Amino acid sequence: MFLFWTFLLWVNWENPVPPALRRKVVLAVSAILLIQSVETLRSGIWDINDIYSPGEAAAHDLTAYRNAHPGARIYAHGYKAFELQPWLPANPYANYHHGAGWPAYVTWRKGETWPTIPNLQNWQKLLAEKPDMIVASRVGRKAELYNLAPVAAQMGYRLDKAYPAGMIWRGAVVEDEALYIFERVK
């Protein structure tokens, strides 16, 4: 938008325009640029102080766990658990395509058998399979979100790490991007 307004001013600058109209246009463009500058500043401060995606930190911890427990079965719950993938060499999840290294991302197509949208029933089924570690995410509107930890604790798991993050829109967090790592208590 900024480039569009700048382009319009640039190509019409030498046109014979009445000074009053020119002042109004320059004032309008200046107001738009001021508003955009304020929003840019807000976004920059948010970027410095907050986290959009905890994937990198979670990937480092998952890699450390994998190195300490080479044969461990690690499961994913929810498509946001795949935020780790850019920092991993292959798919680490034993419950996604039977642990195949590829694809290392969620395939959004018909016939996908892995439950991409998590729900409480899938969470309980996953816990019943007794993996060694679970990287979990919650997806949905706030009213649909469920607390993962109590159900996991009943099934013999403890919350090892939580990575808070959120997607913002107009200055407020509108979607939970947090990741949770649960480890089976042995």
**How far out from the chain centre does Cα 80 lie?**
6
Regarding whether 169 and 92 lie in a shared domain, the answer is: yes
Model pLDDT for residues 60-69, shown as the tens digit of each residue: 999 999 999 9
pLDDT score at 72: 92
Total domain count, the chain = 2
pLDDT score at 143: 41
Regarding whether 64 and 43 lie in a shared domain, the answer is: no
In this structure, the number of other CB atoms found within 10 A of the CB of residue 106 comes to 17
Which residue from 131, 69, 123, 67 is spatially nearest to 99, judged by alpha carbons?
131
Spans of the chain, pLDDT less than 50: 143-144
Regarding whether 64 and 27 lie in a shared domain, the answer is: no
* Residues ≥6 apart with Cβ < 8 Å to 150: none
pTM, whole model, 2 decimals? 0.72
Regarding whether 114 and 29 lie in a shared domain, the answer is: no
Which residue from 48, 61, 64, 43 is spatially nearest to 163, judged by alpha carbons?
61
Q: How far apart are CA 148 and CA 158, in angstroms?
A: 10
3-class DSSP state of 89: coil
Percent of the chain exceeding pLDDT 70 equals: 95
Q: Which domain holds residue 124?
A: 55-184
Regarding whether 107 and 66 lie in a shared domain, the answer is: yes
pLDDT score at 146: 64
Regarding whether 39 and 86 lie in a shared domain, the answer is: no
| Residue finishing a domain among 12, 27, 49 | 49
